């Protein structure tokens, strides 16, 4: 059994994840100073070596791997059982555990609810509410969102309703590439892209303008030794945040987003 006691799931796991996040942020600050030539390699290594949790332990002392705590059979990334958690990838581990805890498990609960509901009141009986006689599916649009139009996906409209932040501005090449990428997505591929971004295959009535908060592109920082082109984009659907590093070219960015959308593999680095 790992250090995470199943009966103390909430306290132990989430307190430890919070401490991991703190030391990961401190490590990132040290690396920034070193990159700016404000620290020598020797001082940087010493400071990183000294980053510990409140109990004096280092991230590596926990001997964790990229599997869901208390569920060794659930890998957070392909081959996660063989990848150790260290200071350099602690933030990735935190992101993945939270994603699986609050997203993947909810999908199972929703599936169970649908099964139970269907056993009492067949879901197919709701079909009349989506019939053309209801004004072309107005009720469906209100509940499920509206089918997007070509105008919603124009570069001009996207620029108005997608914001840059945390490292990007409206003049940043990465932001401009992101707008271009979305505007060029074929109509047949848009539902999958929207599901990747927001968890829903449809936009709300009003399109991107009605997303609350607005869809926002933010800078995703790489770990020491990583190249931005190796990193896949990720999202925080609850905040409509899209996190992407500074890819070297538009084509690389397009490839990484297309792969992430198709495979659903978020927040891990390509080998």
Strands 241-244 and 215-219: parallel
**Residue environment code for 224-261, b if the CB has 16+ CB neighbours within 10 A, otherwise e:** eeeebbebbbbbeeeebbbbbbbbeeeeebbebbeebb
Q: For tokens 């590093």, what's the residue?
A: 245
| Distance, CA of 196 to CA of 242 (rounded, Å) | 10
Write the CA distances from 31 to 19, 169, 229, 246, 267, integer angstroms: 18, 23, 19, 17, 20
Rg (CA), the chain: 22
Question: In the 8-state DSSP scheme, what is residue 212?
Answer: S
Both tokens assigned to 55: 């109990």
Residue 238 bears catalytic tag: yes
How far apart are the C-alpha atoms of 192 and 123, rounded to whole Å? 23
Distance CA 259, CA 233 (A): 9
- Selecting among 70, 134, 144, 238, the annotated active-site residue is 238
Residues known to be catalytic:
238
């Amino acid at each position: 059994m790992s250090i995470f006691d199943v009966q103390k799931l909430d306290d132990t796991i989430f307190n430890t994840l919070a401490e991991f996040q703190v030391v990961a942020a401190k490590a990132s600050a040290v690396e920034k100073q070193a990159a700016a030539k404000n620290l020598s390699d020797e001082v940087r290594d010493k400071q990183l070596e000294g980053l510990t949790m409140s109990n004096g332990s280092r991230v590596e002392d926990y001997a964790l791997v990229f599997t869901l705590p208390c569920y060794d059979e659930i890998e957070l990334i392909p081959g996660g059982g063989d990848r150790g958690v260290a200071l350099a990838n602690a933030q990735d581990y935190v992101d993945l555990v939270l994603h699986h805890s609050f997203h993947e498990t909810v999908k199972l609960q929703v599936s169970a609810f649908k099964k139970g509901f269907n056993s009492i009141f067949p879901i197919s009986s709701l079909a009349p509410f989506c019939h053309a006689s209801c004004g072309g599916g107005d009720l469906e649009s209100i509940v499920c969102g509206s089918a997007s139009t070509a105008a919603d996906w124009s570069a001009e409209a996207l620029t108005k309703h997608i914001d840059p932040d945390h490292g990007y501005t409206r003049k940043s090449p990465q932001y401009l590439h992101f707008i271009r990428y979305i505007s060029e997505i074929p109509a047949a591929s848009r539902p999958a892209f929207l599901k990747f971004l927001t968890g829903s295959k449809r936009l709300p009535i009003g399109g991107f303008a009605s997303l609350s908060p607005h869809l926002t592109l933010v800078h995703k920082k790489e770990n020491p030794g990583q190249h931005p082109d190796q990193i896949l984009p990720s999202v925080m659907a609850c905040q409509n945040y899209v996190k992407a590093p500074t890819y070297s070219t538009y084509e690389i960015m397009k490839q990484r987003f297309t792969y992430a959308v198709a495979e659903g593999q978020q927040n891990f680095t390509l080998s």
